[in-house]
Amino acid sequence: MPTEPLRDRAAAYFRDLQDRIVAALEALDGARFREDSWQREGGGGGRSRVLADGGVFEKAGVNFSDVHGEMSEEFAKQVPGEGRDFTACGVSLVLHPRSPMIPTVHANFRFLTKGQRQWFGGGADLTPYYPYREDVIHFHRVLRGACLRHAPLIDYERLKKWCDEYFYLPHRDEPRGVGGLFFDHLEGDGERLFAFVRDCGDSFLDAYLPIVERRKNEPYTERERLFQEFRRGRYVEFNLIYDRGTLFGLKTGGRTESILMSLPPVVRWRYDYRPEPGTREAELYEVYLKPRDWAAEGD
């Protein structure tokens, strides 16, 4: 059995995962990430890495953080565990491609402790603008594979449904994208859960990069670019109103620039927009923004 505490091993894994993902994205894009190392006033710190105006990615952020301290009395009541002392480490990324033919993607993997409680959380989800069926199926099949390798401890159907329900905008009555995986407060056999989280993290590039490679040279029009900017508005609304990671970071004194790196650089809101029937924009709403078992469609 490992002698190093689970929390320290989780932090080391997340730090290495950030390095590997950034290296792969730089090789794909041709641009370099800027790195900002920071210290949190209440304890701990992190490394924020952001790529701007790249060849493929208009904005991409891959963050690592390892923080500790005390929660506010009010916020502590909302988090499992006794007392106010906490630790949290993890890696979080959001990639906003320049081309509307490439989906935006988000992933986050984290380990938290509070009192005697400790748990993993995280997941990954895809937000396309002009979806390709084979891409959506591929993304879901890779994530399903990571889950099936850890069954019956991990139930893929449960985590997929959790994702569909979590990345949802109640005020719009629509999902943010086509889903993926989501999980939080996974407790119990820490070693087996850590193995699952590592498998998910290691699978991320396999799930996403083939999609980028297929779509990065697809032509697109100004109309399609405007639709991408409009749909990015939904991304902003979710992250600022509902996203747990955003709220946790802001309420525990995290670095604001790092927390809000998830927001796209260019976005627009159009009043009462409705897609024209029979268009690819309408297809997004009618086909892809309706939860379904995409992985099974590739079987």
In which band, very low, low, confident or very high, does the pLDDT at 70 lie, cut at 50, 70 and 90? confident
**Is the confidence at residue 3, as pLDDT, over 90?**
no
Please give the torsion angle defined by the CA atoms of residues 154, 158, 164 and 169, in that order, rounded to the nearest 10 degrees: -100
- Domain membership of residue 275 (yes or no) is yes
In which band, very low, low, confident or very high, does the pLDDT at 262 lie, cut at 50, 70 and 90? confident
Q: What is the mean pLDDT of residues 121-147?
A: 98
Q: Looking at residue 1, what is its pLDDT?
A: 59
- Domain membership of residue 1 (yes or no) is no
CATH number at 133 reads 3.40.1500.10
Tokens 């390892």 label which residue?
A: 66
3-state DSSP of the chain:
CCCCCHHHHHHHHHHHHHHHHHHHHHHHHCCCCEEEEEECCCCEEEEEEEEECCCCEEEEEEEEEEEEEECCHHHHCCCCCCCCEEEEEEEEEEEEECCCCCCEEEEEEEEEEECCEEEEEEEEEEECCCCCHHHHHHHHHHHHHHHHCCCCCCCHHHHHHHHHHHCEECCCCEECCCEEEEEEEECCCHHHHHHHHHHHHHHHHHHHHHHHHHHCCCCCCHHHHHHHHHHHHHHHHHHHHCCHHHHHHHHCCCCHHHHHHHCCCCCCCCCCCCCCCCCHHHHHHHHHCCCCCHHHHCC
pTM metric for this prediction: 0.94
- Please state, for a pLDDT cut of 90, what percent of the chain lies above it: 81
Q: Is 138 a catalytic residue?
A: no
* Between 153 and 245, residue with greater pLDDT: 153
Instruction: Find the domain containing 288 and state its range.
Output: 6-297
- Domain membership of residue 251 (yes or no) is yes
Q: What is the mean pLDDT of residues 121-137?
A: 97
Q: What is the mean pLDDT of the chain?
A: 94
pLDDT tens string 140-194: 999 999 999 999 999 999 999 999 999 999 999 999 999 999 999 999 999 999 9
Q: Looking at residue 92, what is its pLDDT?
A: 95
Total structural domains in the chain? 1
- Domain membership of residue 106 (yes or no) is yes
Q: Looking at residue 256, what is its pLDDT?
A: 87
Q: Which residues contact 72 (CB under 8 A, 6 or more apart)?
A: 84, 251
Q: Determine the residue type at 28.
A: L
pLDDT tens string 203-234: 999 999 999 999 999 999 999 999 999 999 99
Q: What are the C-alpha distances in Å from 275 to residues 127, 223, 272?
A: 18, 12, 10
**Is the confidence at residue 139, as pLDDT, over 90?**
yes
**Is the confidence at residue 69, as pLDDT, over 80?**
yes
- Domain membership of residue 138 (yes or no) is yes
Q: Looking at residue 261, what is its pLDDT?
A: 83
In which band, very low, low, confident or very high, does the pLDDT at 38 lie, cut at 50, 70 and 90? confident
Among residues 106, 138, 140, 171, the one annotated as catalytic is 106
